[in-house]
Amino acid sequence: MEYFLQQLINGLTLGSVYGLIAIGYTMVYGIIGMINFAHGDIFMVGAFVALISFILFALTGISLPIVLMLVLLIAMVFTACYGWTVEKLAYKPLRKSFRLAPLISALGMSIVLQNYVQAAQGARIKTLQPVIQGGFNFFKESDFVVTLSYLQIFIVLVTIVLMAVFTLLITRTALGRAQRACEQDRTMTALMGINVDRTISMTFIIGSSLASVAGVMFVMYYGVIDFYIGFLAGIKAFTAAVLGGIGSIPGAMLGGLLIGLIETFWSGYISIEYKDIAAFTTLVIVLIFFPTGFLGKPDIEKV
Amino acid sequence: MGKDLIQKSLKDSLFTGIIALALFGPIVGLRTVAKNEVLVVEPKWFVVLLIVIFCAVGRFFINLYTFRKEQRRGEQSSFGKAVSNFLDEKGAQIAIAAIAFSIIFPFMPFADRYWMDIAIMMMTYIMLGWGLNIVIGLAGLLDLGYVAFYAVGAYSYALFAIHFGWSFWICLPIAGLFAGMFGILLGFPVLRLRGDYLAIVTLAFGEMIRILLLNWYELTKGPDGLTGIPRPSFFGLPFKRYPDEGVETFHTFFGLEYDPMQRIIFLYYLILILALITNAFTIKIRRLPVGRAWEALREDEIACKSLGVNPRNTKLTAFAVGAMFGGFAGSFFATRQAFISPESFTFIESAIIVAIVVLGGMGSQTGVVLSTIFLIGLIEVFRDFESYRMVAFGGAMVLIMVFRPRGILAKRKPTIMMGKHG
């Protein structure tokens, strides 16, 4: 029971990270119908920006809450630049091209980002000293002490706040309306006087900032990153997006939590060597038997 | 060309500079290095400054000289069309010339060990490209896990050759069959998915196979890899300087001096023949009903269904045939290296093969050759700049997609048409 509870806590934390990345996939898919293969690497760039800022702020001696806010902000801004640029360079010219062209371009972009970070920052893994330490312990008298660390609380809280802000943004603002309109019919939206290009750019900026927040959390939670983390995290987050129903934003969060739980329980109870297989198997099973996910709309092919 | 334009361009290039500063400032400008087990930041502002100036100035000149002209994209340029037409007309002669060149290549005066190794590597990629071209180019299925079949071929060849001591020529078809069977096994559940979902699922399968190879220690020796894979022999004549007692070797049989190059040249011809078989097979099968069904399926799946073509079986044959050739190439790889480990079968290999096929122009056999020479050449040229070569590679992928989404040689003409072309 205690073990189960611990896995649940860990799973929810991990799931928050995946969920934030998954939103980027699902938004881009909803609006331009492509799988943004480079999104995982955008997340990786966010983690690196966070790592660098943590090291720099450690020298200044600013108090922890302000540092956290600043790092989140810096990571969001700089990573958003990456998302914006990638869209402008690699996807925008291909918007009217055949279906697989943007996917291949995204693949190329993902290779570029990975190797660029490797060249600029070195191939060795980077370790960050723990930023937030300590936590609550439960069941102290049993054999297995369940720990809920402050860091985990921080991660889940930030995710909840961001989700709330983001939901408001999508449902209540002009930008959100424009975006939902673009998802339904881009040509018609353009005729209504909405700048479609700008809306798509904003989608990439928002998606990348959320991914960068996931990057900040990843680097704090694991404390170890390298230039390759985006690949696996990207696939898992994509699985989350599909599981929740691609195109659906609450679905992405739900899918993220589920993938986080599946992965933690798999490595907790079955086999830790094959923990990545768990995500891949889920992906395959979901796509084959359940392609619309939990909250997705069925995909009807028109002739 | 007024003041307005210059002002606009200046503004735009300033903006580009700011964005470049934001992009490269933290990642390039603040390099994290470990000192005494603690990460510290090492500033590199000069490099960032150079990059930013380069981006801004470059943007300024691009703006001035193109007058912000919208490029016509998605269409094949006149140059590409001319090359394509030229190749269509003189295709047969060029192909013969190319084959003749590849046959005499080992005897060229400059063909030393280094060139032969590159030639063998290129041939392997050409063969893989031709194999994958069946799946992507003909049947239109984007397979991002092709390396899985390459791996299955390599491992099944290695395991049969090591444990049973069977010769290359017996193990080769077995490895191909195994890979083909895997193709059917993996393809069966997933082939009804749409294009981009299929791509992701095949990617997942490719990674699953690699993780399996990495962790199934009893069979695959995990990350240590399999060593001592037998080298191929020339119809039973081994290439050895000091053969075992009573065994005739290649050089004694033909009365030659022993030279390690003999084995390299033999390997070269081996992969050349294997690649040409792949090519001949593809050219033939395109004209058969199943090949025509692949091309039709690529163009319009719903129309095919209504005409009574079974999409799943048709796709499955393409997948299996492509996988089989991947398996052949894998067994060649195993016998050439004499050592294989899961490290050789990472996702990046799949990406390279996909890039070769797509950049060459899906469905074009000549395109595969051209883009292999271009891309593998690019990776070779950048060999001394180890960390930048994959950046250049990925950049080339993006650029070609942006400027020529159909690839260098786009061939969408059906192989067989009714009417006067028929």
pLDDT of amino acid B51: 84
Substitution target from B188, B401, B403, B408 for chain A, most A beta carbons within 10 A: B401
Check whether A141 has a pLDDT greater than 80. Answer: no
Could you tell me if B312 and B190 lie in one domain?
yes
Q: Which residues of B touch A291 (CB under 8 A)?
A: 193, 197
Q: Nearest CA to B342 among B226, B168, B189?
A: B226
Q: Nearest CA to B411 among B371, B353, B351?
A: B371
CB distance B387–A123 less than 8 Å? yes
Q: Name the minimum distance, in Å, from the CA of A91 to any CA of chain B.
A: 8
DSSP A140-208: TTSSS-EEEEHHHHHHHHHHHHHHHHHHHHHHHSHHHHHHHHHHH-HHHHHHTT--HHHHHHHHHHHHH
Substitution target from B12, B15, B16, B32 for chain A, most A beta carbons within 10 A: B32
pLDDT of amino acid B125: 92
pLDDT of amino acid B328: 92
Least CB-CB distance to B40: which of A55, A90, A127? Answer: A55
pLDDT of amino acid B422: 40
Q: How confident is the model at residue A248 (pLDDT cuts 50, 70, 90)?
A: confident
Q: What is the ipTM of this complex?
A: 0.84
Which amino acid is located at B258 in the chain?
Y
Enumerate residues 104 to 143 of chain B having a beta carbon within 8 A of any beta carbon in chain A: 142
DSSP class of residue A57?
A: H
Choice between A74 and B73, residue whose per-residue pLDDT is larger: A74
Q: Which residues of B touch A289 (CB under 8 A)?
A: none
pLDDT of amino acid B248: 67
Judge whether B325 lies within some domain. Answer: yes
Query: Looking up tokens 């580009």, which residue turns up?
Result: B16
pLDDT of amino acid A75: 92
Average pLDDT score over chain A: 86
Q: Quote the radius of gyration of chain A (alpha carbons, Å).
A: 19
Please count the structural domains in chain B. 2
Mean pLDDT in runs of 10 for chain B (422 residues)? 72 82 81 76 82 83 63 53 69 78 77 81 90 87 89 90 82 90 87 79 87 83 80 71 66 70 82 89 87 85 85 88 92 87 86 86 81 84 76 86 76 60 44
Q: For position B251, which CATH number holds?
A: 1.10.3470
**Angle at which helices A229-244 and A100-121 pack, to 10 degrees?**
140
CA torsion sign for A15, A17, A20, A22 is negative
Choice between A247 and A261, residue whose per-residue pLDDT is larger: A261
Could you tell me if B144 and B46 lie in one domain?
no
Judge whether B73 lies within some domain. Answer: no
Residue A241 near residue A292 (C-beta atoms within 8 A): no
Correct CATH for A2-289 of 2.60.40, 2.40.50, 1.10.3470, 3.40.50: 1.10.3470
- Both tokens assigned to B280: 């001949």
Q: How confident is the model at residue A209 (pLDDT cuts 50, 70, 90)?
A: very high
Substitution target from B28, B36, B69, B200 for chain A, most A beta carbons within 10 A: B200
Judge whether B223 lies within some domain. Answer: yes
Query: What is the tens place of the pLDDT at every residue in A99-124?
Result: 778 888 898 999 999 888 888 888 78
pLDDT of amino acid A270: 81
Count CB-CB contacts under 10 A for residue A229. Answer: 22
CB distance B394–A124 less than 8 Å? no
Q: Nearest CA to B134 among B304, B392, B364, B333?
A: B364
Domain that includes residue B119, residue range:
78-421
Could you tell me if B40 and B174 lie in one domain?
no
Least CB-CB distance to B22: which of A35, A81, A100? Answer: A81
Q: Name the minimum distance, in Å, from the CA of B212 to any CA of chain A.
A: 8
Q: Name the minimum distance, in Å, from the CA of B385 to any CA of chain A.
A: 10
pLDDT of amino acid B421: 47
Judge whether B197 lies within some domain. Answer: yes
Give the contacts of B170 (CB within 8 A, at least 6 positions apart): B160
Residue B36 contacts A, CB cutoff 8 Å: no
Q: Nearest CA to B279 among B173, B171, B126, B177?
A: B126
Residue B302 contacts A, CB cutoff 8 Å: yes
Judge whether B31 lies within some domain. Answer: yes
CB distance B33–A103 less than 8 Å? no
Q: Name the minimum distance, in Å, from the CA of B255 to any CA of chain A.
A: 50
In DSSP terms, which residues pair with B226 in a beta bridge? B340
Residue of A nearest to B306 (CA): A303
Beta strand ranges found along B281-346 (DSSP E): 339-340
Judge whether B142 lies within some domain. Answer: yes
Which amino acid is located at B273 in the chain?
I
Could you tell me if B82 and B62 lie in one domain?
no
- Helix (H) / strand (E) containing B22: helix B3-29
pLDDT of amino acid A214: 92
Residue B23 contacts A, CB cutoff 8 Å: yes
Could you tell me if B101 and B21 lie in one domain?
no
